[in-house]
Amino acid sequence: MEIPDIYPATISPAPAPRAGLKWLLIIIAGLFIVIGIFVAVYFIAGNGHSSVRVIRMEGTLSTGDFSTDDSIGSEYVGNQLREAADDPTVSAIVLRVDSPGGSPAAAEEIISDMEYAKTKKPVVVSMGDMATSAAYYVSAHANLIYADPDTLTGAIGVIWTFSDVSGWMNQEGYNVTVVKSGAFKDMGSTSRALSPAEEAYAQQIVNESFDEFITDVTTQRTIARSDIADGRVFRGADALKINLVDRLGNLNDAIEGAQALANAQQQSHQPFPISLNI
């Protein structure tokens, strides 16, 4: 009797769970995409405060790209305004202002970037402790201005200060010899007082700068020139009475106002500027 060869049974390995894992990953990725679309639509549609960008302008204003504890540069603020303006997830901008002012040139540079931002979306100013002089110059270009009742604002004017320590120098025996190419080259030197011609020239520069400043403010807002020409500061509550600001409120109120402006613009399907009566 022939005994057949006996071979061990062949056992097929269990199929690797690659197909199931692949579909699980596809489903998870699909869910993330759907969630991402809903989030993007939510922000672009301007729903909620999270779509309002708050930019801070705090400290003395100067030209440059910097930010310190007590001063801030026009390029630093301007770059943030332009970035927020171009960001499709931002529906409105709130510029939080807490500044005594600074250089007119810095204010003019920030205003240029603010005007660019306003072509894309509403820009609302929220004033903190202080928004005076050049800081108000910037604020006047917002679509809407909020201030606290005791915010100090206004101080519409220009000042140029010269120091003269020649008396102390004479007392201490210090002598200064100046060799210059023109009569006005050392104007403002602390080693002597201004000459009558220099003082008249300085006054001319201040007057021209002031006229441009106050003309711009009264063009942007309906304000009587006589109410602000003397350069005084106003409490926020009093500033409201003469139209230096639009509403009393804190930062949260300004955020809500900015969102309301954005919603009104979207509903009207019109570019900015739109009416402040919302």
What's the CATH code of the domain at 63? 3.90.226.10
Do residues 35 and 164 share a domain? no
Same domain for 43 and 180, yes or no, is no
**Same domain, yes or no, for 131 and 87?**
yes
* pLDDT for res 33: 79
What does the DSSP 8-state code read for residue 51? Answer: G
Q: Which two structure tokens, joined as six digits, stand for 110?
A: 């920030």
- The one-letter amino acid code at 56 reads R
Structural domain boundaries enclosing 172: 157-224
Is residue 147 in a domain? yes
Predicted local confidence at residue 267, as pLDDT:
82
Residues 62 and 95 in one domain: yes
Distances in whole angstroms, Cα of residue 70 to Cα of each of 25, 60, 61, 153? 52, 6, 9, 18
DSSP class of 56: E
pLDDT at residue 46 in the model: 41
Q: Is the pTM of this model over 0.85?
A: no
Does residue 257 form part of some domain?
yes
Place of tokens 């613009």: 265
- pLDDT number for residue 176: 94
For the question of residue 185 being annotated catalytic, the response is yes
Number of domains comprising the chain: 2
Tell me whether residue 15 is in a domain.
Answer: no
147 and 38 share a domain? yes
> 123 with 260, same domain?
yes
Residue 220: inside a domain: yes
Which of 185, 195, 241, 268 does the annotation list as catalytic? 185
d(CA 62, CA 74): 6
Residues 6+ apart with CB under 8 A from 161: none
pLDDT in tens, the chain (278 residues): 444 444 444 555 555 556 666 677 777 777 777 676 655 554 444 444 459 999 999 999 999 999 999 999 999 999 999 999 999 999 999 999 999 999 999 999 999 999 999 999 999 999 999 999 999 999 999 999 999 999 999 999 999 999 999 999 999 999 999 999 999 999 999 999 999 999 999 999 999 999 999 999 999 999 999 999 999 999 999 999 999 999 999 999 999 999 999 999 888 766 555 433 33
- Does some domain include residue 16? no
Report yes or no: 59 and 99 within 8 Å, Cβ to Cβ: yes
Q: What is the residue type of 57?
A: M
Catalytic residue list contains 181: no
Verify that 129 and 262 share a domain, yes or no: yes
Q: Do 264 and 127 belong to one domain?
A: yes
Compute CA 176 distance to the chain's CA centroid, rounded to the nearest angstrom: 44
pLDDT of residue 26: 76
Q: Catalytic one among 126, 133, 139, 189?
A: 133
Of 206, 224, 242, the one marking the end of a domain is 224
Residue 265: the pLDDT is: 85
Same domain, 161 and 151: no
**Are 208 and 236 in a shared domain?**
no
In-domain check, residue 141: yes
Beta 233-235 vs 152-154: how paired, if at all? antiparallel
What secondary structure does DSSP assign to 196-220, as a single string?
HHHHHHHHHHHHHHHHHHHHHHHHH
**Pair 64, 163 in one domain:** no
In a domain, 10, yes or no: no
Are both 53 and 174 inside the same structural domain?
A: no
pLDDT value of position 16 = 54
Q: Which pLDDT does position 147 carry in this prediction?
A: 98
Is the separation of the CB atoms in 78 and 109 below 8 Å? yes
Peptide bond into 273 cis (omega under 30): yes
Amino acid letter for position 45: A
